[in-house]
Structure 1
Amino acid sequence: MSNFIHSEKPIRIERGEGAYLYDTDGTEYLDCGASYACTPLGHDHPAVNEAVHDQVDRLTFVQASYPVDARDRAFDALAAAAPEGLENVWLCNSGTEANEAALKFARSATGRSKIVATMQGFHGRTMGALATTWNNDYRDPFEPLIGDVEFVPYGDSEALAEAVDDETAAVIVEPIQGEGGINVPTDGYLAAARECTEDAGAALVFDEVQTGMGRTGTLWASQQAGVVPDVLTTAKGLANGLPAGTALCADWIADDHGPHNATFSGGPVVSAAVDATVSTLVEEEVPSNAGAVGEYLRAGLDAAIGDDVREIRGEGLMIGIEVKRGANRALRDLALDSNLLALPAGRSVVRLLPPLVLDEDDADEVVDALSNVLGGES
């Protein structure tokens, strides 16, 4: 067997339950990144499992021109959960597809081509979304990408306002940067983005692929700023581990979206998982748990290792720990010595993205593991 895309970890995962994963030897690992923020309800969640199994028994797939109940329920759940004014739902298979659609929709609706994106931003790996992704390590092997993209410093309202003009189709921005290092913007930044795009007649696109689905303590991170974009994209946690993404659009975007579509848009099985995931997140107030446990976890980390690392930042259960040495060594030690699986965010940030069902006992376990690995770091 040859896997030429992913560098495989020395842990073969066999099953999961709640916030934990188990390898083929039965060893238990606390999942703070192995599922890449894709299982907000935790592993093996009964509501999602039941919905998926029931749908597989009924109908696996039919393309989206034919109405099916599972897709209708997913649309209804998302429209009800969407920020006011973004009830137009387009389903797809991933975050990069959602962002690709958002950029195309914005160009079609405005008749313009210029896209403004941010330094350290990450929006996906397809050719359009990649053009708005900052890191040259992702971009260089695939140049030339689509043109007419301008990058501005993240969190700099003045630089953003200067870049947005009457040729701008869209500004795309993460309410909190994920891959770029768990960077939280300055107060008022998202509101400033809303103001300058409205003044220019451009679309504001919030990439909530990672911050959405309750990750930061509210269903959408942008809710905390009180700002509604023209397009909101999300994916990772949307179907609790099944491949799904969505673009939630304002009427003026949806009315002139152009001829964009995808074969697997809103497949019945994935739609059933989307409906079960979104409904459960809302009904069980899971985002509130993420906010409370995230605050508890950050306080514990600050007390245990705050003096040993450069910074601890984030919101809810989206946490970045900027270390004084390379993140990869810390991640290896966490996995092999403390049975905690986490992620890097750039070269020096350990990123924690656990299931949102994490409780305070689990958070204490995270603190102990990170204290063992990072305490006294030099």
Structure 2
Amino acid sequence: MVRLARYYKVYPLSIIKGSMQYVWDSGGNRYIDANTGHGVAFMGHSNPEIINAVKAQLDKITTVPLNMGNEARDEFVSEFSKIIPHGFDTVFLQNTGTEAVETAIKIGKKVTRRKTIVAFTNSFHGRTMGSLSVTWNENYRKAFQPLYPHVRFGTFNNVNEVDKLIDDDVCCVIVEPVQGEGGLNTATVNFLKALREAASRVNALLIFDEIQCGFGRTGEAWAFQHYGVEPDLFTAGKAIAGGLPIGLVVAKGEFGDVFSPGEHGSTFAGNPVVMAAAAAATRVFTRVNVPSIVKETGSLLAKRLSELNSRLVIRVKGMGLMIGVELRTRAEPYVEALMRHGILALTAGVNVVRFLPPYMISGDDVEAIVNALNEVLKTQ
């Protein structure tokens, strides 16, 4: 019998169905899903509008390569254009977040013909070799050395070292406006402004990685819109296709034709079924004004979590519905205990309990999350 290779610690839980913010296990137990597959199910599990679009596309065609046109792809581009800031007019389609990061790095290298990439402490950009090279955590990196050698890590949010980091040898600077895996750390306005100014000064590309924090998760369509600082290109993915695999790079116009035929490609990118799902997800995003809902519910969740009275809690971090509770101890046991209370969460770094719920969680769901965490902090 063939067995599945394991990439993660496997919990004794088998999820068999989901509906919006809830999932059920094989024993019929319901959970509030604040894990959402590392943020993927932000638009809800089995969101009816997305499901109906996928079903309709399955009856038409399931695969069309990028060197041929397809109406589902055209529809996605049309819908997605409505939530992209002015000046960003090219989308590079991929299948995953790590592929999007690889693509962004390739654009930086092709445009500048330089070798050095600047990244930051506590960053997470993916697990393929290029994106792993700009990921900070040594636990992810050490088994696969040597990685791409020309990476310079700076300290996240340290404005004073920016000018020394970014010189004429730098092709691109990559940073998460809100670090997800690295601990729900939010960038400061001054830090992102300093990166923008330094990158512009040496004609390096500034890349914002919005794979987890983008698509409304922080209360704006894109996290960088909180800061009034624009990158040259940004990566996105996770939530955009309602649970189906997608990654993409959004670039300003001057970078739209950077690749010659054959220099870049992807077999599955722009798949019509994924495109139909992403177009439907974007329609929902726009129609219900997801960012405004996230601002309200995210503020409530952060407020209620900050009221926890536990000696184990250091602080509440994050933005929108991307919230972490930093503990004085390892977070993993508390994430496991939350499962027994009907809450699915995840860790960020070593000591942060991370909550990435769907946009439609209710006030009652927020109370259930806070009450469950309060209980496990008492008993673990």
Answer yes or no: same fold by TM over 0.5. Answer: yes
**Match of 1:35, SS?**
helix
Matched with 1:282 is 286
| Conserved 8 A contact 1:308-1:375 | no
Bigger drift between 308-317 and 182-191 goes to: 182-191
2:150 to 145, 148, 151: 148
Distance 1:250 1:302, change over 3 A: same
Deviations 1:140-199 (A, max 9, x none): 111111121100000112212211111111000000111010011223211221111111
Unmatched tracts of structure 2, length 5 or more: none
- Cα displacement (A) at 1:306: 6.2
> Structure 2: which amino acid aligns with 1:321?
V
Task: For 2:259 and 2:170, locate their aligned partners in 1 and report how far apart those are by CA, in whole Å.
Answer: 17
Counterpart residue number, 2:361:
358
**Contact 1:203/1:230 (<8 A) preserved:** yes
SS in 1 for 2:186: coil
Contact 2:310 2:377 in 1 (8 A): no
How far apart are the structure 1 equivalents of 2:338 and 2:129?
A: 34
Tell me how far 1:87 sits from its aligned partner.
1.6
Provide the rounded CA distance (Å) in 2 between the counterparts of 1:157 and 1:252.
28
The corresponding residue for 1:321 is 325
Equivalent of 1:177 in 179, 184, 203? 179
Say whether residues 1:266 and 2:270 are aligned partners. Answer: yes
Which residue in 1 is equivalent to 2:105? 103
Q: Within 2, Cα distance between the matches of 1:253 and 1:229? A: 12
SS state at 1:165 partner: coil
Aligned to 1:374: 377
2:245 aligns to what SS in structure 1? coil
Paired position in structure 1 for 2:3: 2
Q: Note the alpha carbon deviations across 1:211-234, whole angstroms, 9 max, x for none.
A: 001100111010000111111101
Q: Any idea what SS the aligned residue of 2:136 has?
A: coil
Q: Which residue of 2 aligns with 1:118?
A: 120
Letter of the 1:353 counterpart: L
| Partner residue in 1 for 2:40 | 38
Residue 76 of structure 1 deviates from its aligned partner by 1.9
2:361 is aligned with what amino acid? L
Decide whether the 8 Å contact of 2:23 with 2:31 is kept in 1. yes
1:89 aligned residue (88, 91, 106): 91
Which residue in 2 is equivalent to 1:158?
160
Structure 2 vs 1, CA of residues 17 and 262 (structure 1 numbering), >3 Å: closer, same or farther? same
Amino acid paired to 2:316: I
Provide the secondary structure at the position in 1 that maps to 2:296.
helix
1:257 pairs with 2:271: no
- Partner amino acid, structure 2, of 1:170: C
Which stretch shifts more, 255-264 or 272-281? 255-264
CA contact (8 A) 2:235 2:250 kept: yes
1:228 corresponds in structure 2 to 230
**3-state SS of 1:246 partner:** strand
Deviation per CA, 1:46-76, whole angstroms, max 9, x where unpaired?
A: 1100110000110010111110000011122
Distance 1:299 1:305 in 2: 13
Which sits farther off after the overlay, 226-235 or 76-85? 76-85
Change (3 A) 1:303 1:375: farther
Work out whether residues 217 and 294 of structure 2, in 8 Å CA contact, stay in contact via their aligned partners in 1: yes
Partner of 2:20: 18
CA distance in 2, matches of 1:278, 1:110: 33
Are the aligned partners of 1:340 and 1:369 in contact in 2 as well (CA < 8 Å)?
yes
Matching of residues 188-227 of structure 1 within 5 Å: 188-227=190-229
Give the aligned CA root-mean-square deviation in angstroms.
1.4
- Asked if 1:330 is matched to 2:334, the reply is yes
User: Which consecutive residues of structure 1, in runs of 5 or more, have no partner in the other structure?
Assistant: none
SS at match of 1:88: strand
What's the counterpart of residue 301 of structure 1? 305
Q: Which of these residues, 62, 79, 82, is aligned with residue 81 of structure 2?
A: 79
Amino acid at match of 2:95: N
Q: Which amino acid aligns with 2:346?
A: L
**Secondary structure, aligned partner of 1:129:** helix
Q: CA deviation at 1:305?
A: 3.5
Cα distance, 1:306–1:291 mapped onto 2, change above 3 Å: farther
